[in-house]
Structure 1
Amino acid sequence: MTAIEATEVSKRYGTVVALDRVDLTVPEGEIFGFLGPNGAGKSTFINVLLDFATPSDGSVEIFGHDCHAEGVAARERIGVLPEGYSVFERRTGRQHIEYAIESKDADDDPAEILDRVGLDPTDAEREASDYSKGMAQRLVLGMALVGEPDLLLLDEPTTGLDPNGAAEMRDIIREENERGATVFFSSHILEQVEAVCDRVGILQDGELVAVDTIEGLRESLGGGTKLVITVDDLRNGTVETVRGVQGVETAVEREDSTLEVTCTNDAKMDILVELHDAGVDVVNFRTEEASLEDMFIEYTGSGR
């Protein structure tokens, strides 16, 4: 079954287009990373999923239920960690979890949920309004986990967490996915997405410009690898020489007489031969897989 099905979804606020004909299918059981720079429309899309915003055109379904026409049925199967959630005043951490359990008519043990997200018994009895940002983030994740939801919508879930907390968050995401939950994971922290997601979608100015596995994105951007070349003397014209080789997409001069080149796999040896023929001595070279950050910049920074 399909967990999320968006068809030609647009959202306009006056003359501002927040979403532009977004088509997206997220199958059940997938961890899907949703990326984009600030203002790209990520939160707007999540608000449409939750029926906090009505699309100007198109439709979105969650497990076959229209998010607007059948919002209650769609939300029954969702656990949500929203960005910037404000905890309740004068309620303890435990009371927040108990509230979520009651709201979802679930039978979870509050102590087990709190322990799972890293809040100890002392934290549980404190007022949540006194929590640090990271502790509040853990608490809201616990609320999202109540009732073993079929779909987790996580909007910037590692905000406020230290590296250990972010690693624990990733472990929970994997555990929930192994349980059978679909995870829709919106973030601007690319290494977090790269570590857990099966596929990613990149949103730019409201338009979904890429959807693929990380490996698939690599293959679409220069054969999936980067060639890093150190030469004895990076003279004038060397970068242009490399850019002229068939199969080269980008060539950039770095410090210490180093070139970074994205290209097809077949072009790598041609680049080295061209440098040799131009009288440029290659001191060292290596290949690197393009990181998700490299690909994100390529799609959002170069108008691709």
Structure 2
Amino acid sequence: MVAIDANEVSKRYGTLQAVDRVDLTVEEGETFGFLGPNGAGKSTFINMLLDFVKPSHGSVSLFGNDCQGEGVAARSRIGVLPEGYSTFDRLTGRQHVEYAIRSKAADDDPIDVLDRVGIREAADRKASGYSKGMAQRLVLGMALVGEPDLLLLDEPTTGLDPNGAAEIREILREENERGATVFFSSHILEQVEAVCDRVAILQDGELVALDTIEGLRETMGGGTKLVITLDRLEDGTLETIWAVEGVDTAVATEESTVEITCTNDAKMDVIVALHEAGLDVLNFRTEEASLEDMFVEYTGAGR
């Protein structure tokens, strides 16, 4: 069954096209990563799923229920960690979770929920004293109440240290193994790469890529990443590399190191071009292209 179905959905604010004719289907049971630079339209798309925002064109549905025309039914099977949420300062963590339990007519134990997201010891503290990371864990706990069929999470690891982010990834894996569909946006690409079945990349409101990570690598001609250390970098070095046929991106990462994504056939051509430009290659190695490399390619951030 289809968990999320977007059909030619668009949203315009005056002259700003925030989302532009996005077609997207997420199957039940997937863990799906929704990526894009700031301002790409990710949160606007999620807000249309939640009926916080009305589409200017097209439609979106959850489990076959139109998000605008059948909003109550559409939202009855989901748990949400939205962008820009705020907790109730005068309520404790326990009271927040109890509120979520009543709202969903669920029978979860609030202490078990808080323990799962790592803030059991703060159950009876008012949320006004919570750090950003603790508040993030609290709202995630509220989203988990009632074992929802779909989790919609907007930047779920904001405010968390690396250990906390790893704990959240493990929770998402457990939810997916339980049978839940997980749909989350993130700008921390290694987290998406660690847990997602498929990813979509949004750029200026348009869907520019939609595939498995391995499929994106194949689209990039094999997705080879070439790391070259030179004797020096000159003003025209990156332009020399970009001029080689088969090169997708070239980024200077250190004083004299360049990371390049290219087809397998282009690797030696890059080295020859650098030699002909009068530069000495001190060392080079190849790696499999990461999600970050592919993100740079699809969003044009490498040029």
Q: Who is 1:206 aligned against?
A: 205
Q: Who is 1:18 aligned against?
A: 18
For 1:80-159, what aligned pairs fall within 5 Å after superposition? 80-120=80-120, 122-159=121-158
Q: Who is 2:163 aligned against?
A: 164
Contact 2:249 2:302 in 1 (8 A): no
Cα RMSD (Å)? 2.6
Matched AA of 1:130? G
Deviation at 1:217, TM superposition (A): 1.9
Q: Distance in 1 between matches of 2:98 and 2:117?
A: 15
Matched AA of 2:78? I
Instruction: Indicate how the Cα distance of structure 1 residues 249 and 209 shifts in structure 2: closer, same or farther if over 3 A, else same.
Output: closer
Matched AA of 2:74? A
Q: Name the stretch that deviates more: 22-31 or 227-236.
A: 227-236
Contact 1:33 1:187 in 2 (8 A): yes
Instruction: Indicate how the Cα distance of structure 1 residues 265 and 128 shifts in structure 2: closer, same or farther if over 3 A, else same.
Output: same
Q: Who is 2:284 aligned against?
A: 285
Contact 1:222 1:248 in 2 (8 A): no
Q: Distance in 2 between matches of 1:94 and 1:208?
A: 40
Q: Who is 1:174 aligned against?
A: 173
Q: Who is 2:183 aligned against?
A: 184
Q: Name the stretch that deviates more: 264-273 or 1-10.
A: 264-273
Contact 2:251 2:302 in 1 (8 A): no
Q: Distance in 2 between matches of 1:141 and 1:94?
A: 13
Instruction: Describe the SS at the equivalent of 1:23.
Output: strand
Matched AA of 1:290? A
Instruction: Indicate how the Cα distance of structure 1 residues 289 and 108 shifts in structure 2: closer, same or farther if over 3 A, else same.
Output: same
Contact 1:32 1:200 in 2 (8 A): yes
Q: Distance in 2 between matches of 1:239 and 1:281?
A: 14
Deviation at 1:56, TM superposition (A): 0.9
Instruction: Describe the SS at the equivalent of 1:147.
Output: coil
Instruction: Indicate how the Cα distance of structure 1 residues 149 and 190 shifts in structure 2: closer, same or farther if over 3 A, else same.
Output: same
Instruction: Describe the SS at the equivalent of 1:223.
Output: coil
Matched AA of 2:207? L
Q: Distance in 1 between matches of 2:252 and 2:126?
A: 54
Deviation at 1:61, TM superposition (A): 0.9
Q: Are 1:37 and 2:37 matched, yes or no?
A: yes
Indicate the percent of aligned positions where both proteins have the same amino acid. 79
Instruction: Describe the SS at the equivalent of 2:142.
Output: helix
Q: Distance in 1 between matches of 2:130 and 2:34?
A: 28
Q: Are 1:7 and 2:7 matched, yes or no?
A: yes
Instruction: Describe the SS at the equivalent of 2:157.
Output: coil
Contact 2:250 2:302 in 1 (8 A): no
Instruction: Indicate how the Cα distance of structure 1 residues 135 and 244 shifts in structure 2: closer, same or farther if over 3 A, else same.
Output: closer
Instruction: Describe the SS at the equivalent of 2:19.
Output: strand
Q: TM-score, normalised by structure 1?
A: 0.90
Q: Distance in 2 between matches of 1:60 and 1:95?
A: 33
Contact 1:222 1:262 in 2 (8 A): no
For 1:26-65, what aligned pairs fall within 5 Å after superposition? 26-65=26-65
State the number of aligned residues.
303
Q: Who is 2:219 aligned against?
A: 220
Instruction: Indicate how the Cα distance of structure 1 residues 170 and 281 shifts in structure 2: closer, same or farther if over 3 A, else same.
Output: same
Contact 1:93 1:128 in 2 (8 A): yes
Query: Where in structure 1 are there 5+ consecutive unaligned residues?
Result: none
Deviation at 1:63, TM superposition (A): 0.6
Instruction: Indicate how the Cα distance of structure 1 residues 272 and 97 shifts in structure 2: closer, same or farther if over 3 A, else same.
Output: same
Deviation at 1:19, TM superposition (A): 0.9
Deviation at 1:168, TM superposition (A): 0.6
